[in-house]
Amino acid sequence: MKKAFKTLALILAAIMVVMSFASCGGTATADPSAANDTTAAIAETSPAIADGILTVGTNAAFPPFEYAGDDGKPDGFDIALIKLIGEKIGVEVVIEDLEFSSLVTSIGNKIDAAIAGMTITEERLQTVDFSTSYYEAMQYVIVKKDNSDITTADDLKGKTIGTQLGTTGEFLAEDDIENANVKTYDKAIDAVNDLRNGRVDAVIIDRNPASVFVGQYPDELKIAETVVFDPEEYGIALPKGDAALKTAVDNALAEIKASGEFDALVEQYINN
């Protein structure tokens, strides 16, 4: 028996070592010959888009920033914005739809960047860089329409709170609300459905999707407007240390804001 455990331990150790090597290598196999003239300047210094393609991860379940369009492909404010940025930089943008919770860890290997209504946080900044903020957001609390006992953030203590896995809403519920029983869902709509079914007392989610969901069920749900959290800034997550890419994206973003194209997108996707 003892021997069996020793062997077991050795095998596990071997697996961990092999896999840790595997996870270190295997990135940055770009083909520079594919780069065209307009991207050349950046491609020289940014490994992420050296192949002329910017692969951007998103999670198409966060309306109106991203959602599955009529053709099933991701659409929304963020998607339109990143495509515009791609045009400005001169790279082809390829969108990958992933779980929100896996976006940050996928940057640098499966994807080059992520745009997903993602709040710039200290924790995330340890792993990735962010573009300058492109949108100010806030966490909202959705409750049932007849709910009257959740009126301040303190009222959430000890309550069952639904959130989307890996979102600032989840972190806020877990870190800042005492004794909260936090349930995490892959999709925000699942949390909202469980609120409707009475399995959770409240859902914490970003302002705009919150409005969309409440708009879906105006007779059942409402936003607890008196519960207010600190505002947050959305940014585009970029590979850590890729200064060339960050500069290019920031410049493109500034250009889009200055030209009025940004406001047009807000009008089209968010205020509509």
Partner 1 sequence: MNFYALGFLQSDFYQKFRNAFIVSDRYKLYFEGLGVTLKITVFAGLLGLLIGTAVAFMKLSKTRNGKPTVLSYIAQVYTDIIRGTPSVLQLMIMYFVVMASSKNPTLVAVLSFGINSGAYVSEIVRAGILAVDKGQEEAGRSLGLSSRTTMLNIIIPQAIKNALPPLGNEFIVLMKETAIVGYVGMTDLTRIANKISTRTYEAFMPLIGAAVIYFIIIKLLTIGLGYLERRLRKSDSR
**Interface residue list for partner 1 (CB under 8 A):** 4, 8, 12, 15-16, 19-20, 23, 101-102, 104-105, 123-124, 126-128, 162, 165-166, 170-171, 183-186, 190-191, 193-194, 197-199
Least CB distance from residue 185 to partner 1, whole Å?
Answer: 5
Closer CB to partner 1, 155 or 170, in the complex: 170
Least CB distance from residue 33 to partner 1, whole Å?
Answer: 32
Closer CB to partner 1, 181 or 259, in the complex: 181
Strand stretches in the chain, DSSP E: 53-58, 61-62, 66-68, 74-75, 92-97, 113-114, 128-130, 135-137, 139-144, 160-164, 181-185, 202-206, 221-223, 232-234, 237-239
Question: Is residue 58 helix, strand or coil?
Answer: strand
Closer CB to partner 1, 38 or 105, in the complex: 105
Least CB distance from residue 188 to partner 1, whole Å?
Answer: 11
Least CB distance from residue 240 to partner 1, whole Å?
Answer: 10
Please answer whether residues 179 and 158 qualify as being in contact, where contact means their C-beta atoms are separated by less than 8 angstroms: yes
Distance CA 140, CA 205 (A): 5
Give rounded-to-5 percent helix, strand, coil for the chain: 45, 20, 35
Closer CB to partner 1, 179 or 271, in the complex: 179
Helices (H) then strands (E): counts for the chain: 10, 15
Length reported for the chain: 272
Closer CB to partner 1, 83 or 196, in the complex: 196
Least CB distance from residue 84 to partner 1, whole Å?
Answer: 27
